[in-house]
Chain A
Amino acid sequence: DAKTTQPPSMDCAEGRAANLPCNHSTISGNEYVYWYRQIHSQGPQYIIHGLKNNETNEMASLIITEDRKSSTLILPHATLRDTAVYYCTSPAQGAQKLVFGQGTRLTINP
């Protein structure tokens, strides 16, 4: 599994875009980057994943740098319900299991 590094906490104002960075400098060529989030006392929720191209879905956008050593999860219009711990993870190629780091605790402020 590629080692991922994220800032421990971030704040964002409600209605603004929340940009969460993740460093994965040891990622291999065919290893995907996955993002999950965990709201307090709940199971994690899948957000998005990508390999090298930018990805967008109804929840978020994922921007992966050209060298694939880092990525940014973007929540375009953050709401109070987006307050959670966000995890960036990258399973080993061909593997399904995920290893979670400490994640980023994102707080959306009114």
Chain B
Amino acid sequence: GAVVSQHPSWVICKSGTSVKIECRSLDFQATTMFWYRQFPKQSLMLMATSNEGSKATYEQGVEKDKFLINHASLTLSTLTVTSAHPEDSSFYICSASHASGRGTYEQYFGPGTRLTVT
């Protein structure tokens, strides 16, 4: 099956520092990946669409200069949280689109990265 990994699985950083999270599709190529954020007891909130070789598309209200996304290859997208603050503490999840063979796409999700900013 399609597997997506994330690294690190958890990270603690000090306020004002930057943190990079990697998302990899292990056994398929993904031209499109997505980044979500999830706060406790809430649903997933889509942050941005990451397109290989082009700029990411951010959802309304998501600061593109704060959440830098790079999709340099067909198997890797990175999310960098710049100048992190405690309110950025959250569960960050990526997903990668995989063609289902029915003319549709299935999204496969990574295991998530828990970020804690102190």
Query: Which residues of A line the B interface, CB within 8 A?
Result: 32, 34, 36, 38, 41-46, 49, 87, 96-103
Contact = CB atoms under 8 A, between A and B. Distances in A.
Interface in B1-42: 4, 6, 32, 34, 36
A40 B100 CA distance: 26
Nearest to A42: B111
Contact of B46 (A45, A46, A99, A102): A99
Interface stretch (B64-72, B73-81, B101-109): B101-109
B105 A96 contact: yes
Interface residues of B, number: 25
Q: Max chain B CB contacts within 10 Å: which of A43, A87, A102?
A: A43
Contact of B44 (A32, A34, A100): A100
Contacts of B106: 34, 46, 49
A100 B34 contact: no
B76 to A, nearest CB: 17
Contacts of A49: 100, 104, 106
Interface of B: 4, 6, 32, 34, 36, 43-46, 49, 91, 93, 95, 97, 100, 104-112, 114
Given A49-B104, A97-B34, A44 B46 contact: no
B35 to A, nearest CB: 11
A97 B46 contact: yes
Contacts of A98: 34, 46, 95, 107
9 contacts: A41-B91, A43-B4, A43-B110, A44-B109, A46-B107, A87-B43, A87-B44, A96-B97, A98-B95
Contacts of B105: 96
A58 B104 CA distance: 19
Nearest to A85: B43
Nearest to B105: A96
A43 B109 contact: yes
